[in-house]
Amino acid sequence: MMLEVKGLHKQFGGIHASRDINLVVEKHGVHAIIGPNGAGKTTLIAQLSGALKPDAGRLRFDNTDITHMSRHRRAHAGLVRSFQITSIILPMSVLENVMLAVQSTEGHSYRFWAPVSQDAELKEKAMQSLSEVGLGNRADQMAGEISHGEQRQLEIAMALALKPKLLLLDEPMAGMSKEESANMIELLKQLKGETTILLVEHDMDAVFSLADTTSVLVNGHIIATGSTDEIRNNAEVQKAYLGD
């Protein structure tokens, strides 16, 4: 078992963003979380990655209790997230963004003297992650100047460079054109074999073509978990979410 969520609660004023969420993400494969807007998907991801503290509940990741672990420690433990709203360092080059990620895996960065630009090993590792997502030819461009779809790919490259055990992808297809989405789906299919993915997504085509297991989140509560077919045919899910 990669990740276990037990009795997770989070309340903002009168709104229950997470209500007694129980979730098990098995090793390998893609576990998708779907749900209508405002179901609490991003709140869930934020609690898993450590950006938000749950009001109650426990989190176990890779046989360790991480309920009270800080964000940066979780990243080092192998729990790595990408963001729904593209979150990269815009005034840096594409390569430099990924180099920052690689640098993070190599111990502390209290190194004050040697210029990063001459660190061939660091560059090479970053280039590998970039090529993996198909951004090799954009390495020297500024992160703020590439297309939206490419920025989403860069997000993934940065996450991959951290050598994640579990990749939390928060709507990786958000705001993408049809073609860009198709490319991203291909990319995620390739990654499937390498790492476990928890995919929060709106795009049903993407979910049904990628996911091995799917959980449905409605009003902060998981109403069903099962294989793609089970979810498709679940009457409760159809009523609450699929709408037909």
> Where along the sequence are the contacts to another protein (CB under 8 A)?
49, 51, 70-73, 75-76, 80-81, 83, 87-92, 96, 99-101, 103-105, 109-117, 158, 162
Q: How far apart are CA 113 and CA 36, in angstroms?
A: 50
DSSP for 15-71, please give it.
Answer: EEEEEEEEEEE-SSSEEEEE--TTSSHHHHHHHHHTSS--SEEEEEETTEE-TT--H
CA atoms within 13 A on the CB side of 138: 25
Q: In terms of CB distance, is 1 or 116 closer to another protein?
A: 116
CB of 112 to another protein, least distance (A): 5
CB of 1 to another protein, least distance (A): 23
- The answer to whether 98 and 160 are in contact (CB under 8 A) is no
CB of 65 to another protein, least distance (A): 19
Written as six digits, the tokens of 28 are 């390998």
- The answer to whether 185 and 204 are in contact (CB under 8 A) is no
Q: In terms of CB distance, is 28 or 71 closer to another protein?
A: 71
Backbone angles phi, psi at 138, to 5 degrees: -105, 5
CB of 116 to another protein, least distance (A): 5
Q: In terms of CB distance, is 75 or 217 closer to another protein?
A: 75
Q: In terms of CB distance, is 108 or 178 closer to another protein?
A: 108
Residues in the chain: 244
Q: In terms of CB distance, is 154 or 237 closer to another protein?
A: 154
CB of 231 to another protein, least distance (A): 29
